[in-house]
Amino acid sequence: MIQIFLTIGVFCIIISGLILGVWTDGERQRAVFHSESEQYRNLRTKIALYAGIVGVVSLSIAGIGYSL
Query: Domain residue spans in the chain?
Result: 2-67
- Return d(Cα 63, Cα 26) in angstroms, integer: 33
- Return d(Cα 45, Cα 32) in angstroms, integer: 13
Listed in sequence order, the residues at least 6 apart from 21 whose beta carbon sits closer than 8 Å to its beta carbon are 28, 29, 32
Residue 45: pLDDT band (50, 70, 90) is very high
Q: What is the pLDDT of residues 46-65, one digit of tens each?
A: 999 999 999 999 999 999 99
Q: Give me the pLDDT at residue 58, please.
A: 97
Q: What is the pLDDT of residues 15-29, one digit of tens each?
A: 999 998 888 888 888
Listed in sequence order, the residues at least 6 apart from 9 whose beta carbon sits closer than 8 Å to its beta carbon are 54, 55, 56, 57, 58, 59, 61, 62
- Total-model pTM: 0.85
Closest CA to 20 of 56, 58, 52: 52
Q: Give me the pLDDT at residue 51, please.
A: 97
Q: Give me the pLDDT at residue 11, please.
A: 97
